[in-house]
Structure 1
Amino acid sequence: MKLNIVPARTGVTWVKLGIQTFFKQPLALAGLFFMYMAAATLASLIPFVGVVLALAIVPAATLGLMAATLEATKGRFPMPAILVSAFRAGQQRSRAMMVLGFLYAAACLLIVSVVPLFFEVPVSRESALAPEMQGAMLMIMALYLPVSVLFWHAPALVHWHGVTPVKSLFFSAVVCFRNAGAYVVFGLTWMAVLMVIGLAVSLLAGLLASPEAAAALFMPAALLMAAMFSTSLYFTFRDSFDASPTDDPDNTDNNPTPGETP
């Protein structure tokens, strides 16, 4: 396995491929994303440990959605069982994924523990939108950015390449920094897409002259956009690493090939 350096314009390509692949299997990919969201919501309701469990399953769920995207690129319908792909690759890699999950949960809980030391944390949607809460939200975003960089590719590296959890965090950070231009363009492109979708929903709600219609339309649109975003993550991994066919624990045909288009 080696790291690839890609041009900044590749970020736009990742967004385009994510949207195109989503519409190849929209019901399956949207359904899998909603299943993950439902599982995380149910886990969070468990007393005492619920929040930790909901955070700990994020890396495994990310890998499952990436594996589903890989299936879709091959014209196959990803089945629900693919969401637990991270725990079907042998005991060693399953344990490594669990370690990665709890490292992610610890990092997120550390952020929410640090921020209240400097700002009053929002307790409601209304207070979160208040001007005095903007500092807290900006701090949360600033602290989460390095966490996102560390864990961006870590689940795929653990699962498809057998990399240890700590090394996977290091490699993920290195490739994100070396391809910073592409990832910045990737993020900006998704922001532009979200703005366009939001504007379209607002215009439609204006035509209907109903704020309730806007709220009803915005939530499913936001969830679909989140599902498309999760689909695009696979392509960021595929083009950032040059994989060896023997690295795939499940099937050598499942190995990502840089530059391959769906």
Structure 2
Amino acid sequence: MKLQLVPARTGLQWVKLGVKTFFRQPLAMSGLFFMFMATVSIISLVPVLGTAISLMLVPAATLGLMAASQEASHGRFPMPSLLISGFRSGPSKTRSMLILGAMYAAGLMLVLGVSALFSADVPPPPEVPGGEVSPDMVRNLFSSQGLWVAMVLYVPLLMAFWHAPALVHWHGVSPLKSLFFSLLACWSNKGAMLVYFFGWVGVFMLVGLFMSLLTTLLGGTQALNLILYPLVLFMASMFHTSIFFTVRDSFMPDGGTLPNDPTPGENA
């Protein structure tokens, strides 16, 4: 495995590849993302340990979506079994993926715990009849120190876990080392990563502008709500489809190409 340095413009290419690959298999990719979110949401309802267990599954599910993106990029239909790719490559890699998940859950809980210390003295915003969002609620949210502390602390956590699931699964790196190499890769290719994230910000802003214009044309929000949730699902799925390409271009495997995950009927 070798770290590859890419120019900043590659970030925009990652966005384009994510969009292009998503539209090769839009129903499959959005369906897999929905399965991931539904599973995590259901598990989080379990008392006491539900939230921790659901967070532990995030790295493995992210790896599954990467594997699905790899399949779609090759013109193949991504099967639902790819979502559990991280648990289908033997006991050793399964254990490593669970350890990585536990580290992610612990890290995120720590971030939330520290940020809560800065939000403890913030008074709740006044309630608005009908459950609508008031300007005071938005103002209170963005003036909260806890929010900014959480954002600052989450960035290095996100960088450490961005490539980690793929490094553990495809490159056989230990969980702890995968965090280091992921952080190193994100920092070394920070230009491309910044262009990548701002590219997606631009995409989401354009979609938001389109939705605003559509609301004006329809003259109400009832019809808009019919397409809002599917659109949000599609956009989130599209973003997660693009993550695979950030990994593929940041690390060169020893064999030159990433191995394909086994499909149903093949030996894991």
Given the two structures, how large is their TM-score scaled by the length of structure 1?
A: 0.90
Paired residue type of 1:132: N
Single out whichever of 71-80 and 178-187 deviates more from structure 2: 71-80
The answer to whether the 8 Å contact 2:248/2:258 transfers is: no
Larger radius of gyration: 2
1:80-115 C-alpha deviation (Å, 9 max, x unpaired) = 011000001111011000000010000111111111
- Name the structure 2 match of 1:55: 55
- Name the structure 1 match of 2:223: 213
How many Å separate the matches in 1 of 2:251 and 2:47? 40
Single out whichever of 235-244 and 209-218 deviates more from structure 2: 209-218
The answer to whether the 8 Å contact 2:63/2:166 transfers is: yes
**Counterpart among 165, 169, 173 of residue 179 in structure 2:** 169
Secondary structure of 2:24's partner?
coil
Cα distance, 1:130 vs structure 2: 3.1
How many Å separate the matches in 2 of 1:89 and 1:250? 12
1:132-166 C-alpha deviation (Å, 9 max, x unpaired) = 22133222211111110000000000000110000
Which consecutive residues of structure 1, in runs of 5 or more, have no partner in the other structure? 253-262
Given the two structures, how large is their TM-score scaled by the length of structure 2?
A: 0.88
Q: Does 1:133 align with 2:141?
A: yes
Paired residue type of 2:74: K
How many Å separate the matches in 2 of 1:217 and 1:202? 13
Cα distance, 1:244 vs structure 2: 1.7
In the comparison of the two structures, how many residue pairs are matched? 252
How many Å separate the matches in 2 of 1:231 and 1:65? 7
- Name the structure 1 match of 2:67: 67
- Name the structure 2 match of 1:180: 190
CA distance change for structure 1 residues 141 and 212 in 2, over 3 Å: closer, same or farther?
farther
Paired residue type of 1:36: F
Secondary structure of 2:119's partner?
coil
How many Å separate the matches in 1 of 2:239 and 2:259? 25
Q: Does 1:144 align with 2:129?
A: no
Q: Percent identity?
A: 50
Which consecutive residues of structure 2, in runs of 5 or more, have no partner in the other structure? 263-268
Paired residue type of 1:65: L
RMSD: 2.2
